[in-house]
Amino acid sequence: MMDGVIRDVFRQFNGFPVPVSASVTAQRDFGFDLHPITRTQNLSIISDWSQCEVDRGVRLHYFQQWALLCNRRAVESVVSRGPCINTHGELLVSHSPSGARRAVVRETSTHVGHQYLEVWGYSGLEACLDLAVLNKHGKVYEDAQFACLAWSPCEEKLLYVAEKKRLRSSAQPSSASDDADSMVFEEEDKNMYMEDWGEGLVGKTASVLCVADLSKGDVTVCPGVPPHLSPGQGLWAGDSGGVVFVGWWNEPFRLGMKFCSNRRSALFYTDLKGSCELLSSDLGSVSSPRLSPDCLWLVYLQGRAFGPHHQCFCMMLYDMQNQTSSLLVDVVRRTKEGQFAGVYDSLPPRCWSSDSEWIFFSSACENRKSVFSVERHTGRVTPVLGANTGSAEFGSVKLLTIVKDLMVICCSSPNHPPCLKVGFVSNGAHLQSEQWFHLGGAEVSENFGWQSMIIAPPPEEENHQLSGVNFGAVLLKPAGSSKSVMFPLVVFIHGGPHSHFAAEWNVNAASLTKMGFAVLMVNYRGSTGFGQDSIDSLLGNIGNQDVKDVQRAVLHVLQNNKTLDPDRVAVMGGSHGGFLACHLIGQYPEFYRACAARNPVINAATLLGTSDIVDWRYSSVGLQYSFDLLPTPQALTTMLEKSPIVHAAQIRAPVLLMLGGKDKRVSPYQGLELYKALKSRNSPVRVLWYEGDGHSLSNVETQADCFLNMALWFKQHLNVK
């Protein structure tokens, strides 16, 4: 019976659709221009969604379309254009600038190993290229790090990224166009090791930029990209016929890239004829190049290489005419409560105002995610939605796209599932709540409360090199029937460590709250959204500063919320969150009653040789990294001393470990190391092993099973009826 209730709650909450992307297109007759008589605009919003279907264990993808009638930069009416349409098999989708064509990279179950580039228009399928038959490259990239599918201004060419073609060393090129730029030559030994880009990017070794010419029905691999670079995130450089892209250094060897914005990379331009030109500094990291509507300006994000795996970015502006870069928005070192805290997230694919004067973006800001604008001439940043704008309806707002000053946003709160809204914005001004039009997604809130809080560490827990840095937390509480009810508390710790819990819909937190648990999500020092000093303060202090921050947040809410039961506290987290959870039950063995950890780091010293991000293993403990660095006894000792395994003998709380058998970021044998230490001491411990899963344990069946076992574990050991 208990299993059924837990499954029903998780099925409901995990089943809410989540908007993934959106595009704005114009009507067929007048484009984006005003109707000559009515002076109105008819626009279309097309949004792609993701939805989990727990019973079948699948993640569904679909799109939904709406028609908007707009008058004088105001939305007058919104009408749905029919039911949602399943997009199964679509890897990448892109709408042409005019809105007249839709490009799709598709895989089908009927032709295994084949990928198709399809172009759809008003009259049906206009073009279809079988990329396997053309045989110019390997699989098309569809990931968030490298992938792109960009229309040329003339709408006759498409730019995308794919795996470089591989041939045996004895094979001969099939045509004159098959040269060393488009192929990787392997030795005859098919067992030769091939590097890839690590967790979530397995099998992606060497990328190439590709151009599909729809008029010719052919694909060309762009020549001239230096072999030490792996290109991605490409876009057309206006009408010049050239392409701008990000190139990542793949020598001397590749490090894991997913969740890591500190990989050496730079911005380049190629004329597609063999010439390749550097546009940015080549000593740091870059991402998110976005061209202005007038094609005169290019904005991109820039950070440093190595050090923290995620960071506060500079926003740079490149003058396409004068070929110069300038700083637009600097790194924010310290934050003031409620104010702009820096740029931490990728820019939306479309982020410019129609007059090319403003750039819009969303980013972490303390415990929230907010939308900001930056003025191109001055670099002045203005809050648009969320932080300090008076629009407190939602805890977090994410910008999906802005086209012709029509902004499409995803809104949610810890008690409100995601929904899609739309509204016009002008001159970088605030977008008030009455200007929003609801498009789709949830319209109801769950019956539990939440609060955001900022916490200052006491003097004895200050970082003496970077003092005065606060941290945050978000508390979810069930709706209590009486003041005498005391709720068990689950402390939820994010991984990273340089990531962020926004006050947004979180399926695990919401499901636990619905079941009667209070949930505390902690943004310890080192989280994003609190300035670069907060991030830097954690280097060399893992296992100490972050542990104390979490414990301080727990004590803070227990002291200020008498409905929370201090004798029934559990802790959960994944990756670095699991690392902290295991530290907490070892350092405070009498405080916590249960622990659930997903793919936790248990012994940083033994993880050194198995992780795809070996650089972070050094940086996290305060040591400098270089590619040719070899382990020393002193370095390994430092890593061991900062690891939860040194406190294993003190652990009393029952521990549930959930491990992914294919995890390349944190080896599952890290969890088994703790399992054996606890098992040998007769301490309660249970391991769930998910053979086909990686670090994120993201398969739908795995997510459901993890939650069910975690909820039962907490109910059992916190004596919840």
| Res 183: pLDDT | 58
Closest by CA position to 210, among listed 253, 263, 149: 149
Choose the final residue of a domain: 300, 331, 362: 331
Domain match, 478 and 616 both: yes
Angle subtended at Cα 367 by Cα 361 and Cα 372, rounded to the nearest 5 degrees: 20
- Return d(Cα 120, Cα 107) in angstroms, integer: 16
Instruction: State the distance between the two ends of the chain, measured CA to CA, in whole angstroms.
Output: 12
Q: Quick check: 267 and 300 in contact, CB under 8 A?
A: yes
State the CATH number of the domain containing residue 653: 3.40.50.1820
Pick the catalytic residue: 663, 683, 693, 717? 663
Determine if the peptide bond prior to 231 is cis (ω within 30°): no
Q: Which of 396, 695, 696, 717 is catalytic?
A: 695
Q: Which residue, among 693, 504, 700, has the nearest Cα to 19 in the 3D structure?
A: 504
Determine how many CB atoms are found less than 10 A away from the CB of residue 44: 17
Q: Is 338 part of any domain?
A: no
Q: Are 671 and 643 a contacting pair, CB within 8 Å?
A: no
- Predicted confidence at residue 428, as pLDDT, reads 60
pLDDT at 337: 79
Dist. CA 283–CA 467, nearest whole Å = 29
Residue 664 confidence (pLDDT): 97
Q: Give the predicted TM-score (pTM) of the model.
A: 0.94
Q: CA 188, CA 181: separation in Å to the nearest integer? A: 20
Q: Please, which residues have CB within 8 angstroms of residue 609's CB and are 6 or more apart in sequence?
A: none
- Which residues are CB-contacts of 458 (< 8 A; sequence separation ≥ 6)? 552
In a domain, 429, yes or no: no
Judge whether 49 and 62 are in contact, CB under 8 Å: yes
Which tokens hold the place of 687?
């391991």
Number of Cβ within 10 Å of residue 434's Cβ equals 7
User: φ, ψ for residue 714 (rounded to 5)?
Assistant: -70, -40
Is 717 noted as a catalytic residue in this protein? no
Residue 512 belongs to a domain? yes
Residue 97 lies in a domain: no
Output b/e per residue, 223-252; b: 16+ Cβ within 10 A: bebeeebbbbbbbbbbeeebbbbbbbbbee
Residues 633 and 497 in one domain: yes
End of a domain among 296, 314, 331?
A: 331
Number of domains in the chain: 2
- The reply to whether 34 falls in a domain is no
Q: Split the chain (721 residues) into runs of 10 and give each run's mean pLDDT.
A: 86 96 80 62 93 95 93 86 93 93 92 93 95 96 97 96 80 52 57 92 96 96 96 92 96 96 98 95 97 97 96 98 96 90 97 95 96 96 74 86 94 96 77 74 90 96 95 94 82 97 98 97 98 98 98 98 96 98 98 98 96 97 96 97 98 98 97 98 97 96 97 96 81
Best CA proximity match to 138, nearest among 183, 201, 108, 187: 183
- 317 domain-assigned: yes
Q: Based on the domain organization, do 326 and 454 belong to the same domain?
A: no
> Could you tell me if 63 and 85 are in contact, meaning their C-beta atoms sit under 8 angstroms apart?
yes
Q: Does residue 575 have an active-site annotation?
A: yes
Q: Are 597 and 578 in contact (CB under 8 A)?
A: yes
374 in a structural domain: no
Burial class (CB in 10 A: 0-12, 13-18, 19+), 360: buried
pLDDT on residue 13: 96
Element housing 22 (H / E): strand 18-26
Say how far apart CA 632 and CA 531 lie, in whole Å: 33
Task: Please name which of 333, 338, 318, 327 lies closest in space to residue 277, comparing C-alpha atoms.
Answer: 318
Residue 497 preceded by cis peptide, ω within 30: yes
Structure tokens at 181: 């730029």
Question: Alpha-carbon distance 344 to 287, whole Å?
Answer: 11
- C-alpha pair distances (Å), 108 with each of 105, 113, 115, 164, 478: 10, 9, 7, 22, 45
User: Residues in the chain, how many?
Assistant: 721
- The catalytic residue among 346, 412, 575, 619 is 575
Residues 545, 530: Cα–Cα separation, whole Å:
15
Expressed as residue numbers, the domain containing 495 is 448-717
- Do residue 141 and residue 287 come from a single domain? yes
Strand order in the sheet with 207-213: 149-151, 157-163, 207-213, 218-221
Predicted local distance difference test score (pLDDT) of residue 443: 85
Together in a domain, 326 and 463: no
**How far apart are the C-alpha atoms of 556 and 712, rounded to whole Å?**
27
State whether 292 and 157 are in the same domain.
yes
| Residue 310 sits in the same domain as residue 183 | yes
Asked which of 275, 306, 331 is the last residue of a domain, the reply is 331
Q: Supply the pLDDT for residue 112.
A: 86
Name the pairing type of β-strands 165-168 and 183-186.
Answer: parallel
Dihedral angle sign, alpha carbons of residues 621, 624, 627, 631: negative
Name the residue among 633, 657, 634, 631 with its Cα closest to residue 644.
Answer: 657
Is 581 domain-assigned? yes
How high is the pLDDT of residue 425? 86
User: Distance between CA atoms of 618 and 638, rounded to whole angstroms?
Assistant: 9
Integer Cα distance of 664 and 220 in angstroms: 33
711 and 567 in one domain? yes
Side chain identity, residue 714: F
Q: In the prediction, which pLDDT does 480 show?
A: 73
Could you tell me which residues come within 8 angstroms of residue 34 by beta carbon, excluding any fewer than 6 positions away? 40, 41
My answer on whether 327 and 456 are in the same domain is no
Pinpoint the alpha helices (H) of 233-333: none
Given a contact cutoff of 8 angstroms between Cβ atoms, the answer to whether 312 and 528 are in contact is yes
Verify whether residue 109 is a known catalytic residue. no
For the domain that residue 179 is a member of, what is the CATH number?
A: 2.40.128
